[in-house]
Amino acid sequence: MANYTLATIARKLSASNHGRFVTEDSVYQWVKTGQLQVQRIPYNERGFGKYPYAVEEAHLIDVLREKGFDVVSLFPTSQ
């Protein structure tokens, strides 16, 4: 399964949510409150956005499902 950076998650949710804009800071709040478990991206890797964290796809799908997002449309090949 894939890993997603917080920036990628925010873009993916914003692009598919019918006008509901999700920021990278909003996704980071899920990390701070313990809703989203992350792995730190090593310093030698670039292009991760504002926050150097990645989330495993399976965990992300579970969290988004709990939050009411349409995970089937977001991750059509994982179902």
Burial 45-66 (b: 16+ CB within 10 A, else e): eeebbebbbbbeeeebbebbee
* Residue 41 or 18, more confident: 41
State both tokens at 72.
């089937």
According to the model, what pLDDT value does residue 19 have? Answer: 60
Reported as a single tens digit per residue, the pLDDT across 27-54 is 999 999 999 999 998 877 767 788 999 9
What is the residue extent of each domain of the chain?
3-74
